[in-house]
Amino acid sequence: MAGKACHVVASTTHFGLTQALDGMWKSMSELTQEDLATTPVWEWKEESGLELVRPSTLTGLSEYRDGPVHIAATRYITARGVEYFGHCSPADSSRLDYVQPVIFTPKGPLPLWYLGGLSQAQRATLYSALSGTPSTLFPLRLECLVPVDGVLYTDSIDAV
């Protein structure tokens, strides 16, 4: 996600709330489905090799190159119609590596993209966690639940 960011038009209320939330950073690995259901946009940063997030007051995102990076609540729908929840970073949807899709599974959050692709073991973990096979899971529809420049980002992932 480095080098890509998204913003919302700032207001004094938003600025004040963001300052109040400044101490609320937590590890990305601690982010839950319930967190995203309650607060659909989270600010993301990397610090000392750790991925950290904090709740945001934003209700929509806009594509920019400078500023904080955000992740947003996302629905994933398998080829057989089963829905899962997760997140992505939809501000720059030009490539999957910018979107960084993550799906919440009964076995925990699993990324749907890695630099160089998912290993055989990572794919097996994903298939097991979603109780599926490539033909029952893909294409996997991604629907970001937070608008970017007024438009809801959708995509289809054909395979991992």
Cis status of the peptide bond prior to 139, with omega within 30 of 0: yes
**Under the phi-then-psi rule, with left for phi > 0, alpha for psi from -120 to 50, and beta for the rest, what region is 149?**
left
- Whether the full predicted model's pTM is greater than 0.85, yes or no, is no
Reduced to 3 states, what is the DSSP secondary structure of residue 7? strand
How large a percentage of the chain has pLDDT more than 90? Answer: 64
Task: Tell me how far apart the alpha carbons of residues 65 and 56 are, in angstroms, rounded to a whole number.
Answer: 18
Give the pLDDT of residue 90. 85
CB atoms within 10 A of CB 30: 10
Residue 64, judged by CB atoms within 10 A of its CB (0-12, 13-18, 19+), counts as middle
The predicted-structure confidence for 72-86, as pLDDT tens digits, reads as follows: 999 999 999 999 999
Give the pLDDT of residue 86. 97
The predicted-structure confidence for 1-14, as pLDDT tens digits, reads as follows: 333 333 343 444 44
Name the band, by pLDDT with cuts 50, 70 and 90, for residue 140. very high
Name the band, by pLDDT with cuts 50, 70 and 90, for residue 63. confident
